[in-house]
Every structure is written in structure tokens, then in C-alpha cells.
Structure 1
Amino acid sequence: MNVEWRKSSASDDYGNCVELGALPDAVAIRDSKTPENGYLTLTPATFNRLLTTLKQLP
């Protein structure tokens, strides 16, 4: 499957970031430094819950 990856806007100066990719029924997430290690897929609802939780962290 050909996924178009997009880097997080929250990347730091050391290259630590994640990349997101849109799949037909899911959101794919991978480490930009080791893309060969595969990716995690989440349903859109689960991805939204993850973002909501992360935004609440100090």
C-alpha cells in the first residue's frame, strides 16, 4: 500500500518526530528516523482520543 507520509509540525531540532499517513479506514503513525520498522494503525476515533489525551499532558 502506498502511503503519503506527513511529518509532525512538532518536530524538534534533533529529528525526533512522528509521521502520519492517511489510510482508507485508519491513521498510520511511524517514527520518522526508522520508517523501515513499520507503523502503527489507529482508527480515526482512537487517534482523536490519543490527540485529546496528549494535549492534556503538562
Structure 2
Amino acid sequence: MTPDAGLSGAQWRKSSYSGGGNDCVEIAFVDGGAAVRDSKDPEGGAFRLPASGWQGLLAAVRAGGPARG
């Protein structure tokens, strides 16, 4: 992945379940969806999901299975 200049002002946050380490993903809510990046490599880039993709990912994680859609 390459850094996305459009995310330079994004407000990144980690889950409260991350345990304070650097071994999780970070999320930023951006225009019409969300961006996700690796907390160990914040300059390594991020991928964006539309709002429907973010909701599908959350539903799959909660259900313990793969995302569909």
C-alpha cells in the first residue's frame, strides 16, 4: 500500500481492546466510510471501505465469519 495524502488529517484510533500494544489495526472515519491501517506501520498506507463495506466487516467480525457482500 502507498500512503494516501487524503488521509493526512484523519483522526486515527485503536480499539479499547488492543491492550495498549502496537499489534492491532487503527480506524479513521472518512468521507462516506472508513479507512483502516496497521498500527505497526502507520506510514505504510491504508485501505478504504465505503460505509456499506465497513458495516459488512463489522457484522462478519461480530458473527465470527468471513465478510460477505
Which category of TM-score, normalised to the shorter sequence, fits these structures? Answer: 0.7 to 0.9
Equivalences for residues 10-29 of structure 1 within 5 A? 10-12=17-19, 14-29=21-36
* Alignment correspondent of 1:40: 47
TM-score calculated relative to the size of structure 2: 0.72
The number of residue pairs the alignment matches comes to 58
CA distance, structure 2, for counterparts of residue 37 and residue 18 of structure 1: 12
The runs of at least 4 aligned residues of structure 1 exceeding 6 Å deviation read: none
- Indicate the structure with greater helix content: 1
* Gaps in structure 1 of 5+ consecutive residues: none
Distance 1:4 1:14, change over 3 A: closer
CA RMSD of aligned residues (A): 1.8
Q: TM-score scaled to structure 1, two decimals?
A: 0.83
1:49 is displaced (CA, Å) by 0.6
SS of equivalent to 1:52: helix
Query: Which has more strand, going by share of residues?
Result: 1
